[in-house]
Structure 1
């Protein structure tokens, strides 16, 4: 199977570069994270006009707990504020919130906010999937364990136990800030995804950058291992 595809249904982004953005401007890292949230907000608002079914954002990895405690606390507070402030807009624009990762390990008030937001937005027509306390290797181990309990481990049974089972197949993975690695993100799902690495730091990433990436995706020929 190969051929050009008119559009991407599912795009995932590794949002990298908040700290470097702040450092270049001699600002605290927390300001970079705040501007990163603004970039998320711009993108979510623009997705409706891009005919995407799902946008997945790598917000907080299972390895991010190694960061300084005050930075982690700030990130969690930004998450609280984002859910509270943007939930009405999600509802108005038909955005369905989904969380991938072990979000139940977060603070109890955040878990409650997340589950309430997911319940309220369940009828949305396009999905914003946010990876929280997520690590792809851990996801694969979890899926394999569940598949073994249910019977045998096959590619099909493993996929049925991934966090992304109800999402469209991943078409395009983008990483900002110039880093060229996947950082334990959607390793299984990215097996045949197209990839784009851009030098743009995440706070500077705009809907126009996303559209440029979608245009590049549409020009590529996807071979899926064939010729």
Structure 2
């Protein structure tokens, strides 16, 4: 049964270990990972994927060394500050997560790129920055409870960037087999794929293999075949 994939979400794990294996600073792994993210989005475009979610910075990442945190925010800024690329690809860029703790420089750039790309519709790139799945649900529940009855659909409508459909496929690189507070509500019926490849080494060939495997699966969403 052919299942076209509309939304792929990536947990981009393994940057630090990639750098350590090469005796490089951790930030070099993140820089290489940024290049991989760019290639992966291009590959998703060629596959006809409409939504791509990238786990850039989690709420738990604040526990890391300040130098690494600052470096991650700087890389996020540089990635977002590429309007000409997003314009070429007709890519809409949105950011999901808390906005009260990130640097003003980055926040300003996020607001700018979201406004500039709002009319693009070839692909939507959803960047999770200062994001936690538990916070996403808690914030949505707080909004719903303040004005109405907390049903599943009401909560869904208050999630960060609720217009984005739930992921069909979640890909985690780096060998770990867990969600790490990633899209907990939205992942209810997602297909999961865990790769031993460290994110900087993740390739278009591996992505195409994963998508081909996904297309062969039968998704019943709790029903019968």
The answer to whether the superposition gives a TM-score over 0.5 is: yes
**Following the alignment from structure 1 to structure 2, what is the Cα–Cα distance between the partners of residues 184 and 193?**
15
Establish whether residue 179 from structure 1 lines up as the match of residue 176 from structure 2.
Answer: yes
Structure 2 residues not aligned, in runs of 5+: none
Match of 2:88 among 79, 92, 107: 92
Pairs within 5 Å for 1:44-193? 44-84=41-81, 86-125=82-121, 126-193=123-190
2:11–2:173 contact (8 Å) kept in structure 1: yes
Q: What TM-score, normalized to structure 2?
A: 0.96
Give the deviation of 1:5 after TM superposition: 4.3
Match of 1:225 among 199, 222, 225: 222
Q: What TM-score, normalized to structure 1?
A: 0.95
SS in 2 for 1:133: strand
Residues 1-53 of structure 1 show CA distances to partners (whole Å, capped at 9, x for unaligned) of xxx44311011000000011111112111111110011011112222211111
Structure 1 residues not aligned, in runs of 5+: none
Give the deviation of 1:113 after TM superposition: 0.5
Match of 1:194 in 2: 191
**Following the alignment from structure 2 to structure 1, what is the Cα–Cα distance between the partners of residues 157 and 6?**
19
SS in 2 for 1:98: strand
Number of residues paired by the alignment? 223
Kindly report structure 1 stretches of 4+ aligned residues shifted beyond 6 Å.
none
Higher RCO (CA-CA < 8 Å; seq separation 6+)? 1
Residues 161-196 of structure 1 show CA distances to partners (whole Å, capped at 9, x for unaligned) of 011410122100010011000000001101011000
Match of 1:17 among 14, 17, 29: 14
